[in-house]
Chains A and B, each alone.
Chain A
Amino acid sequence: MKIGEDDIARLAKMTRLALTPAERAAAAKTLSDIVDMMAALKEADVADADPMAHVGLQAKAGLRLRGDKAQAGIPANELMANAPDARAGFFAVPKVIE
């Protein structure tokens, strides 16, 4: 299946990736190859197999919810120490509302 640069531009927009024209062209080529490889599945006789979204062992072992009790977490200031721009306990971003 041929994936064109327009398709790549659409996917890049959905996934929030800025791509240069050269990257778009390269991605169109490699993604076409990858999707061709994936298309091998078309010949697989799997219509009667239920879709398996998960390994599913949890259900057999017994799903268990954590107790509803407060636990010590990581202090907010430690979590925010990795923020590229944090001010007064908030994440700062470019202006969103004009």
Chain B
Amino acid sequence: MNGEITTAGAAGLLQMLREGKTTPADARAVFAERARELSRLNALVCEINDADGCGAEDGALFGVPVVHKDIFCQRGQKTTCASKMLANFVSPYDSAVVEKCRAAGMHCIARANMDEFAMGSSGENSAFGACKNPWDEARVSGGSSSGSAAAVAARIAPLATGTDTGGSIRQPAAFCGVCGIKPTYGRVSRWGLVAFASGFDQAGVFAASAEDCALGLSAIAGFDERDSTSLDVPGEDFSAGLEMPLRGLRIGKPKEFFDGGLDDGVAALLEDAFSEMQKAGAKIVEVSLPSARYAVAAYYILTCAEASSNLARYDGVRYGLRAENAEDIAALYEQSRAEGFGAEVKRRILAGAFVLSYGYRDAYYRRAMRARKRIAEEFARAFRECDIIAGPTTPTTAFAIGEISDPVQMYLQDIYTVPVSLAGLPAMSVPCGFAKKMPAGMQFIAPALEEKKLLAAAHQYQKQTDWHTRVPPLTPPIKDGGGETNNKKNIPPPVKDGGGTVNNKKNTPPPSLMGGDGGGKQ
């Protein structure tokens, strides 16, 4: 029964609850136990909560456990953004996303690890240490929503929340073999979401299947007057419409996404996925996004600029870390920020100040805004020829922890996800197979506010394939016949733990933020 609960997914668990096969308290206990057993993955950053009750009993997702990325303010909980800067910050209020999950009846079992202030593509830039990939613990989980993706992949929770600024939901979803959806910018309220780049940050969800993503997104989406960029559009039931068939759907294949740079193994899996969809009646149309090659440059210019401004709030005065023994107020600011921020965060603050500084603003910042416009126009043009776009989520599968130390190389990991972010479009990553035993993701992209098309295409694809049902071969395995037996040929050998923030004893306290400068590239 335990295995059935952990692999049922949100929709399956709801059905089990309806049929009386389990209770919210039992389900909570099962997932909490799994979370404790797998604490060595470093996916979670706070104590596991199996004592507290669920959210609203009349909520559509009553009894479904969820993991929140440690970027969403949660009343009475530490909200650290995996930064020493916020190591002791206890949120006095709930973010809109946490509020909505409570209202939907979800139970938060823990908070998820992430790259510090959501800046990273590997999960290594965390003051808690790197989050490990459940498919191979020597590899990264992707980032920045590292723990959310790893928790869903390891079946620690059926749903997880995350945020995506330039791919921070889609990329870890691809690396961990789960689904992750970034809705249209403005679809989900940013109220209470710790800001990185406000013009790009968007909350979304992770789940094993598109069907579960639809449930999660329906719960968190909707207008919120507390967020001035929230879109005043009616809430939607994203589960309605999942059965829209692939037959007749025009799927755009951007040729630039398949030019060099893409790993052969991943490319082959995508070709298989296109064939599957074609077999189901979809029409594959070649489209072109010629300016997408400028997206990484434009994205990093614009988001570093926003970050350098947003993170000015951490001054050691009102909240957050304060350096001791600072002689004067200027030293207080400078030393608090030096001690509180990790290396990548400092790098982006400096880069942002550079692109906005006198003499460079036009050449970099303004030019990046123009490139952004061009990219958005090219997407609009492509959508005149197709209904959705499909392509790779990432150039490769998950790389080894410590493998990429050059920041520019790391930024280039985002090559297929940032064009979408610049245009503010909804997109989702869906598992599409395994290359050298590691999961790969296919990215679906839709016009603004057409999340239903993404979810329907993904759901229909998942009816033809079973990649999303595969479960990593973790020790201990899922008890009582979970899905872990159906993918023997893809199972990588268990990897010896390489050290780091190992925390695998039952009831061990969560890793400390203050015990060093963290792992990864710091």
Contacts and interface: CB of A to CB of B under 8 A. Distances in A.
Interface of A: 3, 7-8, 11-12, 14-19, 23, 27, 30-31, 33-42, 44, 46-47, 49-58, 61-64, 66, 74, 78-79, 81-85, 91, 93-96
A84 B317 contact: yes
A62 to B, nearest CB: 5
Given A30-B347, A62-B232, A91-B317, A54 B199 contact: yes
B370 A37 contact: no
B414 to A, nearest CB: 12
Contacts of A42: 363, 367
B298 interface: yes
Interface centre among A61, A64, A66 (most CB of B within 10 A): A61
A44 to B, nearest CB: 5
Contacts of A12: 350
Given A18-B337, A34-B347, A46-B367, 19 more contacts: A15-B349, A16-B333, A19-B346, A27-B350, A33-B408, A34-B408, A34-B411, A37-B408, A51-B370, A52-B369, A52-B372, A57-B186, A58-B186, A58-B231, A61-B186, A61-B231, A63-B232, A84-B316, A93-B332
Contacts of B298: 41
Contacts of A47: 370
A51 B377 CA distance: 12
A58 B228 CA distance: 9
Interface string B315-332: 111111110001111111
Given A37-B297, A44-B291, A44-B367, A94 B332 contact: yes
Interface centre among B92, B184, B229 (most CB of A within 10 A): B92
13 contacts: A15-B312, A16-B333, A27-B347, A38-B300, A41-B371, A44-B294, A51-B369, A52-B372, A52-B373, A55-B424, A83-B319, A93-B317, A94-B328
A46 B371 contact: yes
B354 A3 contact: yes
Contacts of A14: 353, 357
A71 B321 CA distance: 30
Nearest to B364: A38
A44 B92 CA distance: 46
Nearest to A13: B334
Given A38-B364, A51-B370, A61-B186, A31 B318 contact: no
B232 A46 contact: no
Interface string B356-400: 010000011011111111101100000000000000000000000
Interface residues of B, number: 78
A94 B373 contact: no
Nearest to A53: B369
Contact of A82 (B184, B318, B350): B318
A51 B373 CA distance: 6
B203 to A, nearest CB: 15
Contacts, number: 186
Contacts of B367: 41-42, 44, 46
B355 interface: yes
Contacts of A41: 294, 297-298, 301, 364, 367-368, 371
Contact of A95 (B300, B328, B353, B354): B328
A16 B373 contact: no
A94 B369 contact: no
Contacts of A50: 370, 373
A31 B347 contact: yes
Nearest to A30: B407
A93 B230 CA distance: 36
A17 B351 CA distance: 13
Nearest to A56: B424
Given A44-B291, A51-B369, A52-B369, A37 B411 contact: yes
B350 A15 contact: yes
B238 interface: no
Given A11-B354, A38-B300, A39-B297, A51 B366 contact: yes
Nearest to A86: B318
A57 B223 CA distance: 13
A41 B233 CA distance: 35
Contact of A38 (B317, B355, B357): B355
Given A15-B353, A37-B300, A46 B329 contact: no
A64 B230 CA distance: 10
Nearest to A46: B370
Nearest to B424: A55
Identify the 8 closest CB pairs spanning chains A and B, nearest first: A55-B424, A84-B322, A51-B369, A82-B319, A52-B373, A46-B370, A18-B334, A18-B338
Given A40-B294, A41-B368, A44-B367, A74 B92 contact: yes
Contact of A81 (B90, B364, B370, B412): B90
Nearest to A19: B338
A38 B334 CA distance: 27
Contacts of B372: 51-52
Interface in B282-329: 291, 293-294, 296-298, 300-301, 308, 312, 315-322, 326-329
A18 B337 CA distance: 7
Contacts of A18: 331, 334-335, 337-338
A64 B412 CA distance: 38
Contacts of A16: 312, 315, 330, 333-334, 337
Contacts of A52: 369-370, 372-373, 376
A82 to B, nearest CB: 4
Contacts of A17: 334, 337-338, 341, 346, 349-350
A85 to B, nearest CB: 7
